[in-house]
Structure formats: structure tokens, C-alpha cells
Amino acid sequence: MAIRLGPNRYGKAQTRLVTVRRDGGRHDLTDLTVSVALAGDLAATHLTGDNGAVLPTDTQKNTVYAFARAHGVAGPEEFGLRLARHFVASQPAITRAEVTIEAHGWERLGPHSFRRDGRETRLAAVTVDGAAGVTVECGLTGLVLLNTTASEFTGFVRDAYTTLPETTDRILATAVDARWRHAAAEADWDDSYAAVRDALVAAFVDTHSRSLQQTLYAMGERALRTRPELAEIRLSLPNRHHLLVDLAPFGLDNPNEVFVATDRPYGLIEATVVREG
């Protein structure tokens, strides 16, 4: 039984790029972490160490910086598209380029002063494939939301290992990780991103939740209804359990006021919400 090379890719991960655009005294700041992965006819370097088709990852890094200066960084999606198209167009051996970008947010404090906002990280993942074409996936991670009430969990399966009581009033907390695929490679990216994020937040806030699954679906559905340019959205929601503390040993009641926030284990709810057609 022969052994052979299967799917493979390579690239430079986590190139840190900060750009300043100076428009008179008022500066604009962009802060990105850029990762590149290239695939194509790369068998030779794996099998014999012949690097004749390998564009070094160091060169990929240089390209990120040079393109930032030569073309500017209008946004992570456009910058990712430009980079991915460049690698596929300029390298005969490369048939597929994936550029993944994290955009770190800063809020303005003055004409040249900024504070890292720390709310969430915006994501863009662009794939340019000679055969399959262009896909753009946007997303976010680290958006931490909490409802102190309006969350129930009842009517679930009980088996020999079930000890959890039903509850009609619990804390529901999660750190949203979301990726949404655009139907086309063009959009008003900034506007779309802000609207999707706000739709996710609004659905979390508005939903009276009987399960985190229900909240997840409501969030995904809201995003798709709000923005027709989205083809689908994947959500990964950890259930960050907040356990009610038993204060009875100390002669105290605890009417949903004092909780332990736990790290591990946590529930993890994952689903894709899809637009038909």
C-alpha cells in the first residue's frame, strides 16, 4: 500500500501590521493580524525538498507590508482580497490563497490618540481559488454577552445520570464566536459588519431563552434577515455557567443574586443558520 501526499498548504501566520493614515493633523489607525495560507502544486518541496515552487513565507510577510503602503488598507476584507488575488495571480504553482485577518479595534481619544477598545475582534477570511472562485467570510470573536434573567432551561431529557434541576430563571452568558459567508465578493464591508454585530447583540438581548440553542438560532436568523448579502452564518456559543451559590448553611437565602462564574467545564453550542437557495 503506497503512501502519498494529501491536502497541504503553507504560509506566514500572524503578521502584525499597524498603519497610520495621516490626513493633516487627524490620524487614522488600523491594527491587523494577517495570516496567509497558499496551496497548489507543492508536491516537490514535500517529496524532495525542491523549493522551486515555494514563495517563502518571509516574502508573504513582506508583501503584506508593501501592499499596505502601496495600496492602503481600506478594510480587512478588501485588503485580504487584494493579497489573496495577488498570490494566485502571480505564482504559477499556487491555485488557492486563503488570507485570514483579525482587526483589533481602537477608539479615538484625540486627533492622534487612541485606546484599544477590547470589546470584540473583527475577522475576515478571504479565499481565492482558481477553480472555486472567491469567497469572503466575515466574523467576530470575543463578544461577551450576559442576560441576568429571561433564560430558562426546562423539559429536557432525564436519564440515570441527570441531577440538574429545571430552572425558569438563570443567568445566560456567552462569548460569541461567529462567521458569516457573503454571497458575493463585494459589499459595504464596514456597514455590513456593524449591522451583523448589532443584529447578533440585539437578538441575544431580545430573546426570552428556553435554551442557548434557541438564542443561537434567533441570533443567526436575525443576522440573515437583517442583511440579505449573507448566505449563511455559523455560531459557536460557549455556555459560561453561572452557578447559584447555596447560602443555606449560613442561614441566608439566595434569590438569584449571588453566583459563581465558572471557567470549566462549559457547554458549547454550535450551529449554522442558512439561507435557502
Q: Which of 41, 50, 186, 191 binds a second copy (CB under 8 A)?
A: 50
Active site residue 208: no
Residues 184-243 that bind a second copy (CB under 8 A): 201, 204-205, 209-211, 213-214, 216-217, 220-221, 224-225, 232, 234, 238-239, 242
CA distance 244 to 255: 9
Q: Quick one: 131 or 264, whose CB is closer to a second copy? A: 264
Of 19-27, 74-82, 124-132, 187-195, the window that binds a second copy (rule: CB under 8 A) is: 19-27
Residue 107, CA distances (Å) to 85, 150, 157, 229 in order: 31, 32, 46, 27
Residues 97-116 that bind a second copy (CB under 8 A): 106, 109-110, 112-116
Active site residue 15: no
Q: Minimal distance in Å, beta carbon 187 to a second copy?
A: 17
Q: Report helix, strand or coil for 32.
A: strand
In this structure, what C-alpha cell is assigned to residue 108?
479615538
Q: Minimal distance in Å, beta carbon 130 to a second copy?
A: 17
Burial of 9 (0-12, 13-18, 19+ CB in 10 A): middle
Is 260 a binder of a second copy (CB under 8 A)?
yes
Q: Minimal distance in Å, beta carbon 188 to a second copy?
A: 20
Q: Minimal distance in Å, beta carbon 39 to a second copy?
A: 9
> In the Cβ-directed half-sphere of 154, how many Cα atoms lie within 13 Å?
8
Angle at 269 between CA 215 and CA 239, to 5 degrees: 80
In this structure, what C-alpha cell is assigned to residue 131?
477553480
Residues 51-90 that bind a second copy (CB under 8 A): 51-59, 61-63, 65-66, 68-70, 90
What residues contact 75, with CB distance under 8 A and at least 6 apart? Answer: 103, 124, 189, 190
Exactly one of 33, 57, 59, 121 is catalytic; which is it? 57
In this structure, what C-alpha cell is assigned to residue 238?
460557549
Residue 106, beta-bridge partner list: 116
Q: What is the helix (H) or strand (E) element at residue 174, kind and residue range?
A: strand 172-182
Q: Which of 19, 95, 141, 226 binds a second copy (CB under 8 A)?
A: 19
Exactly one of 15, 63, 174, 241 is catalytic; which is it? 241
Active site residue 163: no
Q: Minimal distance in Å, beta carbon 85 to a second copy?
A: 15
Q: Quick one: 133 or 250, whose CB is closer to a second copy? A: 250
Catalytic machinery residues? 12, 57, 241
